[in-house]
Structure 1
Amino acid sequence: MKSTCAYGVAPRALPVIGHALPLLRDPLGFLAELPRHGDLVQVRVGRYRAVVVCDPELTRQVLRDDRTFDKGGPLYDRIRELTGNGLASCPYSDHRRQRRLLQPAFHPARMPGYAETMRRQVTAATGAWTDGEAVDAIAEMHGISARTTIVTMFGRDPARAAADGDLARLMEDFTVVVAGIPRRTLLPPSADRLPTPANLRYDRARARLRTAIDRIVAGQRSGELHDGDLLSMLLSAGHDPPGNGGPGGPGLTDEEIADQLVTFFAAGTENTGTTLAWALHLLARHPHVARRMRAEVDTVLDGAPAASLEHLPALKLTTAVVTEALRLYPPAWVLTRTTTEDTRLGGHPIPAGTAVVYSAYLLHRRPDLFPDPERFDPDRWMTGSTPRRSAFVPFGGGPRKCIGDVFALTEATLVLATVSAGWELRPVDDRPVRPVPRLALSPQELPMRTVARARSATAANPSSRR
């Protein structure tokens, strides 16, 4: 693709390295400026060129046509180092089969059991807090999400073993790999072979992570299956005749199952935990919204110590807070596709093999789509003039939309409500909290102080509950 194409061209390109410097220094600011230069804007890093889609309807076209705009590009090449050929990263040719086999795990009938797991994990975590202590809100929310994901994936016994010892190592290795992916995306593959400390840490952590997951799969394959956990469902997926309610067809191999488990662990821990951390930060910086949300939680829970699935429909403002956090800080802030054939997009020819980039962060910050886009305003999701859903893509869209979007939204809302029922988290200091564009868009650091809330009259006197 030549730079003389009809697309807009991003400014500030330097000889040889192209837009590498602004992407490394301020990738979020660089993305936010691109809509000024057209609906399709070309960027360049070294010899690599990509077309960034800046329009919501064109983004929707890309997401809906997953055969033409297939998963690919340097970012997915690096993500596959972590997730292998899992559902989120596999090509079009594998996706339909994998989705069909995995869909039963996310059937609405399973949500009550998942919600109970969420309730137990957040109750255990917040039960260990003490009034006035300083906590790392990112680590706390990731811990809740990780334990919820592990119990959901492996059932009770493996989860207990992980919680007793393996979880800390699993989380440490996972953090090293996730932190290394964006840096490696901007470097040539030849740089992977350099024996730098960062490369050595990355390679060792990735190897340990995959070995641990492979060992769990092999152990459960040889043992008795536990009904209800995700691993058991994956092990049996495809082996039931279609007439018995199963998906039928060939099942998943152990390697494929391990890929799915790493994928779900990554999404369930990194994305949900990060969203919860941002929600707590935004509430702490906007106390008027926090007071309203706590009033809603107190009314809906009616003295119950934790939120349950039955409370979810009435937690409207709490849900809106989560949604607005996803708008401002979408974990999957930038993703790539690769065209598999010559096509057209927005009237422009797109040759086969073109890297196409879309960004939830870019779309969510467009003032023509979300008025006053920098402002934290959960009420924008509670009025009759709801923002355009086609422009809100924290979970992607089309056939490749995140299979666990309902699971993630349910967990984030129930955890946030339960935390708010018993605690107020306040900033430790006035230092600004900056987003760091790693694999997920995470706060750089988020120290907060726990303040226990006074128990309500209904909590103190259960007989007064309706």
Structure 2
Amino acid sequence: MSLSLSLSWAYSLFLLLCIGALIAFLTYCAYVHYTHMKYDHIPGPPRSSFLLGHSRTINNATKKYKVVHDLFVQWAQEYGPIYRVNFLHYVFINSTSPESVKEIMMSPIYPKDPFTYKRLFYLFSTRFMGKGLLTDPDHEHWRKQRRIMDPAFGHTYLVQVMEVFNERAEQLMEQLSERADGKQEVSLHAAINRVTLDVITKAAFGMDLGLVEGNKTAFPDAISTVLKGMIQYLQHPFMKYMPQHWAYIREVEKCVDLLRRTGRECIMKRKQEMLSGEELPKDILTKILQCAEEENGLDDEIMLDNFITFFIAGQETTANQLSFAAMELTRQPEIIHRLRSELDEVIGFKRDISYDDINKLGYMTQVLKETLRLYPPGPGTSRYIKDDIVIEGIKIPGGTSIVFSTYSMGRLEKFFPDPFKFDPERFHPSAPKPYYCYFPFMLGPRSCLGQVFSQLEAKVVLSKLLQRFEFELVPGQSYDIMDTGTLRPRDGVVCTLRPRQESSK
């Protein structure tokens, strides 16, 4: 009898739990339906699932690291400048409206989208970008950080860092010269990655990795692994609960830990040097620590968050831009000819390129801007709309994330005629300035702190490459793009090189 009662009680409890779960599920479905009703006046593609919304379509568009922004370009063409994307009870608004870019990105009252950027606080279970400059959604906290870091990227420091740019780029040119026989294959993307990582570690933190010279370090692979892990985490947030992914997740977290541990050691060492009155390197870290002291300090964990951010934004994106430029130039003989004519006139074959020289390279500036239009390593950003707003005559309910994609806008005919043509004349000083449809470094108060640093470095490396070498892609190389958290050339820009003929004259 006692056993029968126990079984009856257990069955009743199980039944109650099932009923409770069913009620919770139906309540959630009702909430999702309410969300649909609230936002379905906004144009958008048909949902592939009531609950999962467009997630299946988006996941298919990102398989094998394909660029999801190509799908967004297609949707913008089909559904207009404002369209919605659904996932569960979340709704994201994608905008290719220049007026919305101007109103929202140029204003400090619209913070970074917390749904996306707070998820980058951690990467799986390990602190990743935390509350660094890139991810901090709190505008006042971000503004304090920016005030501390701005002086480190001022004109005086940028003139000084030209020495590092020249030194590391020259080392690369010497290495490439040994392989410039027209036969050996060289991955320019891998080679340029070594330069940009050497530059950021030296210029920002006084570290000598010596990657260009051939030193072995886990940093390049760690950054690549972290970036791939980041996009996996953003696209598949539930994978950390699936045992089949746990080995991969541990590998990603190990790489994040390596970056943060190295940063912590670097920062602690520099602080100790400051306390003991030693002569300090004139790098970004020293300037930031000095400014932080004047501003009543900056939390060490926040410093580490920015250490990670500098590696991702300061190294990876510049390397990718330069690699895209080299890739595109292999099919642009007329543009290469104009670039070399400008270089011959401004620089000749000097090995030490000055800050003033760089400022005279107007056509190279146009080429690099056009590269960023067609191949932006950082394809977009998002902001949070707290209150109702009207964009292009469509009411957007408050509590919504709005996504802006410079990649999408850069490939729309209405903004850039013949958008897939690589045409640096779009950025000639006398050409009409793109009206809030081009923002590879973002716009407004949250624009990229290191954009001038990045473009100076890009010009030094590209100038030296064009000074010295002719290069062409090996057979089988494509011009495709790969999305690994930032956009990069899919095939690595594998080339054969020969000494430039004019260099012997």
Task: Output the TM-score relative to the length of structure 1.
Answer: 0.89
TM-superposition CA deviations, 1:294-332 (whole Å, max 9, x none): 222122212213533221132122111111100001111
Amino acid aligned to 2:264: D
What's 2:25 paired with?
none
**Deviation at 1:339?**
2.6
Give the CA deviation at 1:189.
Answer: 4.1
Provide the identity percentage: 24
Larger Rg: 2
Query: Which residue matches 2:498?
Result: 451
Q: Alpha carbons of 1:412 and 1:372: their partners in 2 closer, same or farther (altered >3 Å)? A: same
* Alignment partner, residue 235 of structure 2: 186
Alignment-derived partner of residue 142 in structure 1: 193
1:73 partnered with 2:115: yes
The residue that corresponds to 1:245 in the other structure is none
Amino acid at match of 1:59: V
C-alpha separation in 1, matches of 2:46 and 2:231? 22
Match of 1:386 in 2: 432
Q: Does 1:236 align with 2:285?
A: no
Query: Matched residue of 2:382: which SS?
Result: strand
Per the alignment, do residues 21 and 434 of structure 1 end up closer, same or farther by CA in structure 2, a change over 3 Å counting? farther
**Cross-structure match for 2:334:** 288
| Structure 2 letter corresponding to 1:52 | N
Count of matched residue positions in the alignment of Structure 1 and Structure 2: 448
Residue type matched to 2:228 in 1?
A
Amino acid at match of 1:99: R
TM norm structure 2: 0.83
* 1:375 to 2:424 alignment: no
Between the aligned partners of 2:298 and 2:279, the Cα distance in structure 1 is: 15
Change (3 A) 1:167 1:263: farther
**Aligned residue type for 2:148:** L
| Residues in 2 aligned to 1:271 and 1:336: alpha-carbon distance in whole angstroms | 18
Secondary structure of 1:395's counterpart equals coil
Counterparts of 1:203-222 in structure 2, within 5 Å, are: 203-222=253-272
Change (3 A) 1:167 1:74: farther
Cα 1:413–1:324 change in 2 (3 A) is: same
CA–CA distance in 2 between the matches of 1:187 and 1:99?
31
1:376 Cα deviation after fit: 0.5
Q: Deviations over 1:262-289 (max 9, x none)?
A: 1111111111000000000010021221
Letter in 2 for 1:29: D
Equivalence for 2:16: none
2: CA distance, partners of 1:436 / 1:348? 34
Q: 5 Å matches for 1:160-309?
A: 160=209, 168-189=217-238, 191=240, 194=243, 196=245, 197-223=247-273, 224=278, 226-239=280-293, 248-309=294-355
Determine which of 32, 37, 52 is the counterpart of 2:73.
32
Q: Distance in 2 between matches of 1:78 and 1:417?
A: 36
Structure 1 residue 430, shift from structure 2 partner: 4.1
Match of residue 173 from structure 2: 126
Q: 1:268 to 1:160 in 2, by over 3 A?
A: same
CA distance in 2, matches of 1:212, 1:164: 21
Q: Which runs of 5+ in 2 are unaligned?
A: 1-34, 62-67
Shift of the 68–292 alpha-carbon distance from structure 1 to 2, 3 Å rule, reads closer
| Secondary structure in structure 1 of the residue aligned to 2:402 | strand
Shift of 1:231: 1.2
Deviation at 1:64, TM superposition (A): 1.8
**Alignment correspondent of 2:162:** 115
Q: Distance in 1 between matches of 2:213 and 2:325?
A: 29
C-alpha distance in 1 between matches for 2:486 and 2:418: 24
Separation of aligned partners in 2, 1:161 and 1:384: 42
Aligned match of 1:53: 95
Contact residue 235 and residue 257 of structure 1 kept, 8 A: no
Higher mean Cα deviation, 186-195 or 266-275? 186-195
Shift of 1:160: 4.8
Between the aligned partners of 2:106 and 2:383, the Cα distance in structure 1 is 12
**Larger deviation, residues 257-266 vs 341-350:** 341-350
**Is the partner of 2:330 in helix, strand or coil?**
helix
Structure 1: 5+ residue runs without aligned partners? 240-247, 461-466
Maintained 8 Å contact 1:64/1:399 = yes
Deviation readout 1:29-79 (Å, 9 max, x if unpaired): 211112231221101234432111111221222212333343422355136
Is residue 264–residue 304 contact of structure 2 (8 Å, CA) maintained in 1? yes
Matches of 2:359 and 2:112 in 1, distance apart?
A: 36
Q: Map of 1:8-47 to 2, 5 A cutoff? A: 8-11=43-46, 13-26=48-61, 27-36=68-77, 37-47=79-89
Cα 1:273–1:110, aligned 2, differ >3 Å: closer, same or farther? same
Letter in 2 for 1:94: H
Which SS does the other structure have where 1:35 is aligned?
A: helix
| In structure 2, distance between residues paired with 1:184 and 1:383 | 41
For the 8 Å contact 2:343–2:361, the answer to whether it is kept is: yes
Q: Deviations over 1:324-374 (max 9, x none)?
A: 100001111132222344444444443443121111101111111111101
Paired residues of 1:145 and 1:269 also in contact (CA < 8 A) = yes
Tell me which amino acid in the other structure corresponds to 2:169: V
Shift of 1:260: 1.5
Give the whole-Å Cα distance in 2 for the aligned partners of 1:18 and 1:392: 29
Residue in structure 2 matched with residue 464 of structure 1 by the alignment? none
Partner of 1:73, secondary structure, is helix
Q: Distance in 2 between matches of 1:70 and 1:230?
A: 25
Residue in 2 aligned with 1:242? none
Contact 1:370 1:387 survives alignment (8 Å): no
Is the CA contact (8 Å cut-off) linking 2:425 and 2:431 kept in structure 1? no
Q: C-alpha offsets along residues 400-440 of structure 1, whole Å, 9 cap, x if unaligned? A: 00011111111112211111101122101143221012211
Give the equivalent residue in structure 2 for 1:2.
Answer: 36
2:120–2:135 Cα contact (<8 Å) kept: no
The CA distance in 2 between the partners of 1:432 and 1:426, in whole Å, is 12
Contact 2:340 2:467 in 1 (8 A): yes
* SS of the residue 2:329 aligns to: helix
Task: Work out whether 1:93 is the aligned partner of 2:147.
Answer: no
